[in-house]
Structure 1
Amino acid sequence: MPVIRVVNPAAPEVAVRADGGTIGGVSSGETQRVWSPGAATGIGSMPGTDMSEAATVVFGELSELPHLPELPARGVGADLIGRAAALLVDLAVEVVPSGYRVTAKPGRDHRRAVDLLHWDLDAITEVAERARPSVVKTQVAGPWTLAAGVELARGHRILTDHGALRDFTESLVEGLSAHVCELADRTGARVVVQFDEPTLPDVLAGALPTPSGYGTVAAVPEPRARELLDTVIGAARAATGGPVMVHCCGRRPPVGLLHAAGADAISLDATLLDDASSAFLDEIGEAWDDGTTFLLGLVPSVAPATRPELKELARPAFDLVDRLGFARTTLAERAVPTPTCGLAGASNEWVRRALSLAGDLGKAFVEPVEGW
């Protein structure tokens, strides 16, 4: 079985087997939380085009667990797929009318994505020098979302070709390891990786259209999806020596699969759980009981019509632990409040308010307000 070796100066050297298992390092069950109780964080995206401004807001409002902002409003190369493509090693993409496509060598589109990421790291370095964070989170498209969002030369999605899927996964893992090392060096902080898998539910359901638009791509079996996620999660854990998060903004993200794949933290929209089935709640309960941390989306990602009260925003989290039969102290121990999704569509005023509210919720998890 091949071994991918990744090294991060902030973590012990760990070898990762292709199946995601570790050799001589930490495993999912041994990975410890590296942020303080009461921490809050963001999903990733922010509005606007000024990275210095976005980073200043994030590091100011989310001091316990800030993240590297993503600014998709800048266009090509700044979106989820383009940003992941900027990390690829020895592979390149270009933009065609249907989206991103593999190309033989880096062209204007690929170079733009790489340049944007480098400029963002420069901006983060300046902000981190003032904020001195102990932990920083970085986000990247997960392997299934990346493989669904990039086409082969013939127009078919990468995920339909086993060899191409393997090559892109290995390239992503190698590039992510280098990115983690650079981010740790520039910020002086521990780095936590979050894989974004918004397309995973469609991949599993066979709901992605074919190039013709008249059919759909065959569903990926859960064991195969789990195996690939296990590989990249293990590699990211090896690179950081810390927990690995997976975010899925679907209404019913595959929590059981993500837990089985070794995710140390699972990020979901907790405001959509009122009508969740017993089976879905059982998946959350089993993962939580097994030590998984949940990033609970509680704060609206765009400004609501009326100003929300903190108690109202916290209610889905308290209802969830009550329904599952957990003590409310579980929220302080293994939950992190976040906005319900990215903030790219929010106003600048609401961004600051939303992140501030997330921070207040984190404090309320640790020290619940009387009467809640």
Structure 2
Amino acid sequence: MTLATGIGSMPGDDADAFLQATRVVLERLPDLPHLVEVPGRGATAQMTGRALAVVSGLAADLQPAGWRLTGTGGGSGVDHRRARSLLAQDLDVLEEETDGYTGAFKIQVTGPWTLASTVEKPRGDKVLSDHGARLDLAQALAEGVRTHVRDVRRRLPGVDRLVVQVDEPGLASVLGGKVPTASGWGRHRTVHPPEASDALGWVLGAITDEGAEPWVHSCAPGTPLALLRGAGARGLAVDVAQLGAADHDVLAEALEAGESVVLGVVPSTDAAGASMPGEGQVVEAVTRWLDMLGLDPASIGGSLAVSPTCGLAGASERWSRRVLALLRASAAELT
């Protein structure tokens, strides 16, 4: 059975948009719906603020330059408290809308390396610049994810398969030494793969320990898929158009091992005159990809899913609804 799912974000800028998007996702992605993210509501709802709402034991505040940790002696700023409150409110809405729901469900959280490259230390510059600080942040995220998973399970008792998607769009830049310093004139030093794998592994391991399924998503080119699998990812969500030659082999190995692969096959925005593909085009693209890998669709069971190429926050409401309907129809045809 091929599944249809979303990456996470949806268009909108207020509480009603979150409610309506939640209902749309539950209706159009019934086999693997997800906790909706509506980043248009502001910094507290965007991926960094959302992750800091999950992080355990660290305080933060929002500065003109972005999110900043306040140190062990500092308290959370008002925006950090708002981020936590907003996440709790969203979960309240989700709990009400999913009353009686059974089956699989997915939640998302920003990964430790993308977080380290976007959050500042108490005295400035990115957490990424300090070896100890970035590991502390990764450990705090891992502990926070444990609590978050338990909370979601309590609110959605009928869920028998909980997927936690760790978003790491910044990982390739971290490994490639491409993250700019605060001045903008330099770049932070490259993080070596073993350290990157270890920190990511803490978060993925925490997910596994709580009985959930750890996936990693990145629509950025150059993301090392083999490193993600080695760190403990049991699902990989990718944009097909961004894959390199070696990536196809890694995805084939994952499918053959019974792990999940989510193919981003439908444009995530209707910008620049993008046209919506037809169901036949989506099915053909996936079928040809499997044929290129020498895989029989019948042999991979429920390991394959289709999704937008990335989040839908930048799309119009009409486009986002059409994308989800197309993905559901295409998944049914592939099945």
Q: What is the TM-score of this pair, normalised by structure 1?
A: 0.83
Separation (CA, whole Å) in 2 of partners of 1:314 and 1:150:
40
Aligned with 1:207: secondary structure?
A: coil
Tell me the equivalent position of 1:41.
5
Could you say what secondary structure the match of 1:66 adopts? Answer: coil
Distance 2:288 2:91 in 1: 39
CA deviation after TM superposition for structure 1 residue 185, in Å: 1.3
Match of 2:35 among 68, 89, 107: 68
Distance (Å, rounded) in 2 between the aligned partners of 1:127 and 1:78:
20
Equivalent residue, structure 1, for 2:197: 226
2:106 is the counterpart of 1:109: no
Query: Distance in 1 between the 2:187 and 2:259 partners?
Result: 34
Query: What is residue 165 of structure 2 aligned with on the other side?
Result: 194
**Shift of residue 329 of structure 1?**
2.5
| Secondary structure of the corresponding residue to residue 311 of structure 1 | helix
Shift of 1:327: 1.5
| Distance in 2 of aligned mates of 1:341 and 1:262 | 22
Q: Are positions 1:213 and 2:180 aligned together?
A: no
Residue 304 of structure 2 corresponds to 335
Amino acid at match of 2:122: A
Equivalent residues of 1:332, 1:365 under 8 A apart: no
Matches within 5 A, 1:249-328: 249-273=219-243, 276-277=244-245, 279-303=246-270, 305-328=274-297
The code of the aligned residue for 1:286 comes to E
Alpha-carbon contact 1:209-1:217 (below 8 Å) kept = yes
Letter in 2 for 1:80: M
What stretches of structure 1 of length at least 5 have no aligned partner?
1-36, 367-372
CA-atom RMSD in angstroms = 1.7
Of residues 135-144 and 163-172 in structure 1, the stretch that sits farther from structure 2 once superposed is 163-172
- Give the conservation status (yes or no) of the 8 Å contact 1:332–1:362: no
User: C-alpha separation between the residues in 1 aligned to 2:250 and 2:96?
Assistant: 41
Cross-structure match for 1:129: 99
1:332, CA displacement in angstroms? Answer: 4.3
Q: Give runs of aligned pairs for residues 16-165 of structure 1, distance below 5 A.
A: 37-48=1-12, 49=14, 50-103=17-70, 104-129=74-99, 132-165=101-134
Q: Cα 1:133–1:355, aligned 2, differ >3 Å: closer, same or farther?
A: farther
Query: What is the aligned partner in structure 2 of residue 172 from structure 1?
Result: 141
Structure-2 separation of matches of 1:315 and 1:230: 35
CA gap 1:339/1:331 in 2 versus in 1, 3 angstroms: farther
Alignment partners' CA distance in 2, 1:306 and 1:293: 28
Give the 3 Å change call, closer, same or farther, for CA 111–192 of structure 1 in structure 2: same
Which amino acid counterpart does residue 69 of structure 2 have in structure 1?
V
- Residues 193, 236 of structure 1: 8 Å contact kept: yes
Number of aligned positions between the proteins: 325
* Pair 38,282 (structure 1): closer, same or farther in 2 beyond 3 Å: closer
Whether the 8 Å contact between 1:321 and 1:330 is mirrored in structure 2 is no
CA contact (8 A) 1:65 1:137 kept: yes
SS in 2 for 1:315: helix
* Counterpart among 213, 216, 231 of residue 243 in structure 1: 213
CA shift, 1:307, in A, is 4.0
Identity of aligned residues (%): 41
Shift of 1:284: 2.5
Superposed CA deviations along residues 330-368 of structure 1, whole A, max 9, x for unmatched, are: 5644211111110001111111111111111221221xx
- 1-structure distance, mates of 2:2, 2:250: 24
Q: State the distance in 1 between where 2:35 and 2:197 align.
A: 27
Partners of 2:128 and 2:188 within 8 A in 1? no
Deviates more, 1:165-174 or 1:75-84: 165-174
Q: Secondary structure at the match of 1:159?
A: helix
Greater CA deviation, 330-339 or 260-269? 330-339
Match of 1:358 among 293, 314, 327: 327
2:239/2:264 contact within 8 Å kept: yes
CA distance in 2, matches of 1:265, 1:300: 21
Query: What residue number does 1:10 align with?
Result: none
> 1:193, 1:44 → 2: CA distance?
11
Q: Is the 8 A contact 1:92 1:105 kept in 2?
A: yes
Give the AA of the match of 2:151. Answer: E
Tell me the residue number matched to 1:31. none
Give 1:220's aligned amino acid.
V
TM-superposed CA distance for 1:246, in Å, is: 0.3
8 Å Cα contact 2:113/2:168 also seen in 1: yes
Tell me how far apart the structure 1 counterparts of residues 82 and 178 of structure 2 sit (CA, whole Å): 31
